[in-house]
Structure 1
Amino acid sequence: MAGATTLGGMRPESGPVDAGARPAGWRRAGVLGRLDTPGRLMVAVGVVVLLLGALAGVTVVSPRAAEALGQDAAAASASNSASARDIYQGIADTDAAASVLFLATSLAQRDALMGLYVEAVDRAQSALSAAMVRAYDDPARLARLTTIADEVRAYRKVVDDGLTVGLGDDFAKQAVLASAYAREASFYISDVVLPSVMRLGTEDQERLARAQRDGQLWRIAALGLPVLVLLVLGGVQWWLWRRTRRRLNAGLVAAVAAVVVVLGLLVSSWSHYAAAEVGFTALASRMDSEGATQQQLGALLSGRADVSLALGASVDPVKHHQDFLARDLCGSAAGQVNCTALTPVWTARQSGVAGDYDAAVDLVLPGGNVETAFASAREQISDRLDQGERDVDAAVQWLPATPVQHRLLMPALLLVAALAAVAGLWARLSEYS
């Protein structure tokens, strides 16, 4: 018989071919490949609900991250930095005042120097107390401030002990005893207390950087997740259309519309992000500059203590001279000291010339040329600190306000989206019952 034949002499069927037919032995890979249409609908319901729930969580949590980039968080960090600066200056002033106490040559002079010391240490402790009150809701910072307060009390006890053993009218004896205590106290404040205070400013910088990193992550989640949800909803709609040849699923369309609105609200709530990042970078830079000036002031006051301690009867003046030079304070620039005026101080103990020591003490005590030179440098640095504080305040004021976060509206819309999507998919699923 003419014509093509198949195995067994039978012709191929001429009816419509099943679009789902596959070659013999073909197997779908994966879990979805082993599920029938109702099973896949159930998976689609689970995935859609899971993603909408995750998006709802983002809309609840991300507003806090968005607000952390706003003016309030930055102002808090700037305020904390100002507290650290006040504490640092107060403690450095205390060290400078304590270092000259043992140089008194009369009761009246000792009382005057004692007044300066007590005023400085009280100012430092008041700044600490005020900072601790502001940090009542920040346990980590409060713990740091408590540690510093304990260190200041320990420092004050050392100085007070030195004053106690040096009481009386024998000022030569007082110089020997009290200067030893002053030296130990100065080393303690330079090596322990001031570095602890500086870490407060470092933590503020880290807080700002952390707010930026958190903002970046939450921004990606807040804007990327709704796009992913829209893609999944569109994919499910396309699969249903391919499977059933029906028009758009009303439930999925409603869900898509709700998610689109939520995406628009999220874009609005993060619209300040770009400007906030620029502002935070400028604020961090100005706080860095303020911290550097603060350290320069600390170095100046520590150098001031070195000069006084070099005249002590029980210490090595050469070592204090070396410490002073290492602070890089000599020069004619703003905040520096004319070190030529200090020469009589460094040589007073070894000169062997009558009157040289007393003349050096007069230079160092309030009203002397050395004290005046340090006071001038201190004033210049303080002016720079004041300007730096104004710059920080200006950077804070420049930061954009956080837009409305729609805290209740977005989760409500996503609940509607979830109900609509489940209803639309369940209607298709019920057709297989």
Structure 2
Amino acid sequence: MASTDLWLVETAPAGQPGGEPAGRHHPHRRVDWARTAPGRLTMILLVIVALGGATGLAQFLAWSQRSALVHGMATGSSPLGLSALDIYRSLSDADATVASDFLIGGTGDPELRRRYLTDVVKAAEAINVAAGAVDSGSAAAQELATLNIHLPMYTGLVESARSISRQGHALGAAYLRESSALMRNTLLPAAQRLYDTDKGGLASAQRRASAVPWVVVLMVLGTIGALVLAQRRLARMTKRRLNWGLLAATAATVACLAVTVAATVTARDNLEEGRRHGSEDVQILAEARTAALQARADEALTLVARGGGRDFEEHYQAAMARLDGLLAQAEADVSDAALQRTVRIVRQQVRTWAGLHRKIRDLDDHGQYTDAVKLATSQDAGGITIAYLRLHDALDREIAQRNTIFADTAEQARRAIVWWGAGALALTLIQLLGAALGLQRRIAEYR
């Protein structure tokens, strides 16, 4: 009897005295379920869904990051880069224009006065636009602060020079030289550093936007491998060679890899084209335009100095040599026929300008100052002013055209990335749905 009672206690059902507490599942039962065919299939499904979801998330993050980078380029590289170019051009032109104005007494030509004031207003507007695109405390913000502080000082010196010159005092030329020194030693270097800051950021953005997304590629390859292994395992378990759901999921994942590679190659090619035919050309042309502006100002300041402008003449010669070298480089490097024609036209205007400048120097050196000033400020069709304006306007047009080319190619790269994002999302959903349907049907067969 005692042995019988002991057997009853040991085999009491769960929830009864001496038995396993009600509602508690033994861990061995979960292990046993995982070893069954439906359990193994369910675990395979969970692994594939987790890999597919993680891959889709990685693609979304890569797509959103690259889309933001290229969007910044497509809007004109960036507000900071365009503003820096506008600041530099406007300030350089203002310096050259006010120097030319002084050759006719500083009371001047209403057109020159209007051009100078327009340049100052454009520079101030570009500084305000750039200020909205930088973080406070950054290096770019410091350069903008320098420009904001010294631009009013420059215009004040110019107005003082004009006022004194109108009274017939030679001291006006000293104020003009002081204003030009402030422009060249402080304002223009700050604008150049501002442009260099943006140029470095643009180059970094181009590299990141065109790089192969290796994390995404490896995750997609891992998902493909998991799907292939799942199909092999399922074939051994069910004795069926094909599972149409898993086959569709595998095809969708392979297509997703193809879309990723194609979008990356397309975006890289577009950005490379934009760099070669856009940003690089803009840099050379902008430097050539700056050299021309500096040479024009130096030419006028040499005459304003009335025999004491040797330094300005040396600066003029250096600027013209740099201008000719940049144009020669542009003509040799570019493959765009239209740009080559423009560069040849500009070089012809430079030669015309240089020939007239030699006549100006010859007249001035031989005491014919009035004739030298007249030749330097002549508005005749074959005069030096017309030659300068033609080359300046031609460079302006080409810079605008190259910026448009860069923006267009960046926009094409952005479209490729957008299609990548949309295609990757759709294919990821197909992959997850195919895997779920393909394995769920097999799991249901065991119920």
TM-score range, shorter chain: 0.5 to 0.7
Q: Say whether residues 1:340 and 2:355 are aligned partners.
A: yes
Contact 2:127/2:148 (<8 A) preserved: no
Q: Say whether residues 1:228 and 2:222 are aligned partners.
A: yes
For residues 320-355 of structure 1, give each alpha carbon's deviation from its aligned partner in whole angstroms, at most 9, with x where no partner exists. 222222231469824524323223655788x4x655
Q: Mean Cα displacement is larger for which, 402-411 or 149-158?
A: 402-411
Contact 1:162/1:182 (<8 A) preserved: no
- What is the Cα deviation at residue 378 of structure 1? 1.6
Distance in 2, matches of 1:294 and 1:124, equals 16
1:9 matched residue in structure 2: none
Distance in 2, matches of 1:102 and 1:285, equals 41
Distance in 2, matches of 1:315 and 1:254, equals 90
- Between structures 1 and 2, the one with greater helix share: 2
Distance in 2, matches of 1:361 and 1:226, equals 73
Contact 1:69/1:276 (<8 A) preserved: no
2:121 matched residue in structure 1: 122
- What is the Cα deviation at residue 299 of structure 1? 0.9
Alignment of 1:270-309 (within 5 A): 271-287=262-278, 288-309=280-301
- What is the Cα deviation at residue 172 of structure 1? 0.9
Unaligned runs of 5+ in 1: 1-35, 428-433
2:157 matched residue in structure 1: 162
Q: Say whether residues 1:320 and 2:309 are aligned partners.
A: no
**CA 1:76–1:141 in structure 2 vs 1: closer, same or farther (change >3 Å)?**
farther
Aligned to 1:109, what secondary structure does the other structure show? coil
Distance in 1, matches of 2:247 and 2:136, equals 46
**CA 1:101–1:143 in structure 2 vs 1: closer, same or farther (change >3 Å)?**
farther
Distance in 1, matches of 2:176 and 2:193, equals 25
Alignment of 1:24-423 (within 5 A): 51-64=51-64, 67=67, 72=71, 74-78=73-77, 83-100=83-100, 102-105=102-105, 108-109=107-108, 113-130=112-129, 135=133, 139=134, 146-163=141-158, 165-166=160-161, 167-168=163-164, 169-213=167-211, 216-217=212-213, 220-235=214-229, 247=239, 257-258=248-249, 260-265=251-256, 267-268=258-259, 271-287=262-278, 288-313=280-305, 317-327=309-319, 328=321, 329=323, 333-334=347-348, 336-337=350-351, 338-343=353-358, 346=361, 351=365, 354-356=367-369, 358-365=370-377, 367=379, 369-389=383-403, 391-392=405-406, 395=409, 401=416, 402-403=418-419, 405=422, 409=426
After superposition, the CA RMSD in angstroms is: 4.8
For residues 71-124 of structure 1, give each alpha carbon's deviation from its aligned partner in whole angstroms, at most 9, with x where no partner exists. x55522457565554444223212222434554526x32876543322111122
Contact 1:364/1:371 (<8 A) preserved: yes
Aligned to 2:350, what secondary structure does the other structure show? coil
Distance in 1, matches of 2:398 and 2:348, equals 9
AA at the equivalent of 2:372: A
Aligned to 1:170, what secondary structure does the other structure show? coil
**CA 1:86–1:165 in structure 2 vs 1: closer, same or farther (change >3 Å)?**
closer
**CA 1:51–1:394 in structure 2 vs 1: closer, same or farther (change >3 Å)?**
closer
Distance in 2, matches of 1:161 and 1:69, equals 41
For residues 17-43 of structure 1, give each alpha carbon's deviation from its aligned partner in whole angstroms, at most 9, with x where no partner exists. xxxxxxxxxxxxxxxxxxx997xx899
For residues 272-310 of structure 1, give each alpha carbon's deviation from its aligned partner in whole angstroms, at most 9, with x where no partner exists. 443333222211111111221121111100111221232
Q: Mean Cα displacement is larger for which, 325-334 or 91-100?
A: 325-334
Q: Mean Cα displacement is larger for which, 314-323 or 162-171?
A: 314-323
- What is the Cα deviation at residue 419 of structure 1? 7.2
Distance in 1, matches of 2:442 and 2:135, equals 50
AA at the equivalent of 2:355: T
Distance in 2, matches of 1:378 and 1:292, equals 14
Percent identical: 16
- What is the Cα deviation at residue 407 of structure 1? 6.8
Unaligned runs of 5+ in 2: 1-31, 326-345
**CA 1:360–1:117 in structure 2 vs 1: closer, same or farther (change >3 Å)?**
same
Q: Mean Cα displacement is larger for which, 317-326 or 403-412?
A: 403-412
Distance in 2, matches of 1:304 and 1:44, equals 76
For residues 245-286 of structure 1, give each alpha carbon's deviation from its aligned partner in whole angstroms, at most 9, with x where no partner exists. 664799x98567535434434534654443333222211111
Contact 1:148/1:193 (<8 A) preserved: yes
AA at the equivalent of 1:405: A
Q: Mean Cα displacement is larger for which, 167-176 or 410-419?
A: 410-419
**CA 1:143–1:407 in structure 2 vs 1: closer, same or farther (change >3 Å)?**
farther
Distance in 1, matches of 2:182 and 2:385, equals 22
Q: So what's the TM-score if we normalise by structure 2?
A: 0.65
Contact 1:158/1:185 (<8 A) preserved: no
Aligned to 2:108, what secondary structure does the other structure show? helix
Contact 2:143/2:191 (<8 A) preserved: yes
